[in-house]
Amino acid sequence: MEKVIAIVDIGKTNKKIFLFDKTFSIVYQKSVKFDEVTDDDGYCCDDLDAIETWVKNGIKTIQDEGKYQIKAINFSTHGASLVYLNKNGERITPLYNYLKPLDLNDYSDFYESQGGTAEFSRKTASPAYGMLNTGIQMLSLKRNKPETWEHVHAILHYPQYLSYLFTGEITADFTSVGAHTATWDFDKMAYHSWLKDENITLPEPCKGNEAVITKINGEPIAVGTGLHDSSSSIIPILENENNNDFVLLSTGTWIITMNPFSKETLTQHQLQNNCLCFMTPEKQQVKSSMQFLGRIHEVYIKTLSDFYKVDIDYHLDLVLNTRLCKELIEQNARVFLSEGIDTDFEAHPEYLQNFLSYETAYYQLIYEISKKVISAIELISDEKATLKDVYISGGFNKNKIFIAFLEILKPSITIKISDCKNESALGAALLMKDYLK
């Protein structure tokens, strides 16, 4: 049997299982989408029961088929998602959706007790994002559902919960707690003291290459603790570049701009402009900017399709028109996006009445997205740093119009398309390479 590493890669839309061989090539993959369910407040959320069953059955099926011998399993998931366990190790809540509305005014007393929103957010490298801050999710559950909170014995981020399903171990990792959770003190590089004040105990994070050897369906397998997907996606490029400076654009529903080489601490100016910090599996700061631009792109290609009565993927057939790119840059108009941080993620069909064609409307949308991405790159670059290489991973690395706008807007950079596929899964696999023996 061929020895492999299995990776469970959970996105908001697609749930996947990959097998990587000793050359870290994908030799097997399964993908599925699940219908959402509703939580105890009636808000949509992932069907965690179905996902759990699919993951366990997927691993067992691979073992039963006998073609591959799984030597290690690791996990990569989207962030801002928590699982609460009772003292019997049973899950007691739904997987609350990070897009669920949460009024930050209800937590003004908390922010004031921590020195104010600005300073607390700087210290934790976590803009006040509501449900996107898992620490605030914990406070929300404690305050609003005390009858549930009294049964909380352990709190796990999503990757560690999937690991727990196989090991029964309560764990944490640096990439998850460092991802805008409002629980990590980046000044002290340790959990923030407010957790102790609130009697909240979280497991100490371990490095990403640590694993627990456990028997799964009778076979000994090294099970990793899992990673936050965006932080995982930078691992393959770090290995290939041998620490040559670069910035990574991880593109999808979010466009996350990541600089693992920034030595400067996060400033209030950066924080107020969508910047934050992630962490590597080895506990190093990754200066980043997180913008919901992919979501805006998604809603507008649907609206463009309806308005111009074309296929939803029509934008993929557009021929690159650099002359139009330059004209739009010269005009520097703003139609679809706000001047500062975007808060409106719904499409407005009425905006399309200003355009003569699908092409000009789509190019204008991509221009505005590209302009925000260039601003993000500049914001997370250290003052005296000279940036040359910008990698693009994810869906936008196939968008020639997006790439052209970036190159015209900032000609000093070289755009590199990440040649590895499924970067977050590959990053999680690379951390398990010592167990592939």
- H helices, E strands: number in the chain: 16, 21
- What's the average pLDDT block by block, 10 residues per block, for the chain (437 residues)? 97 94 96 97 97 98 97 96 98 96 96 96 94 97 98 98 98 96 95 97 95 96 96 89 84 91 90 90 92 94 97 96 97 92 84 96 98 95 87 90 97 87 92 93
* pLDDT, position 430: 97
Quote the tokens at residue 36: 């959402």
Nearest CA-CA partner of 334 in 296, 364, 357, 303: 364
Residue 143 burial (CB count, 10 A): 13
Give 268's contacts (C-beta < 8 A, 6+ positions apart): 118, 122
Instruction: Say how far apart CA 417 and CA 394 lie, in whole Å.
Output: 9
Residue 56 burial (CB count, 10 A): 15
For the CA atoms of the chain, what is the radius of gyration? Answer: 22
* pLDDT, position 243: 65
* pLDDT, position 239: 85
Instruction: Say how far apart CA 286 and CA 258 lie, in whole Å.
Output: 6
Quote the tokens at residue 382: 């250290």
* pLDDT, position 253: 85
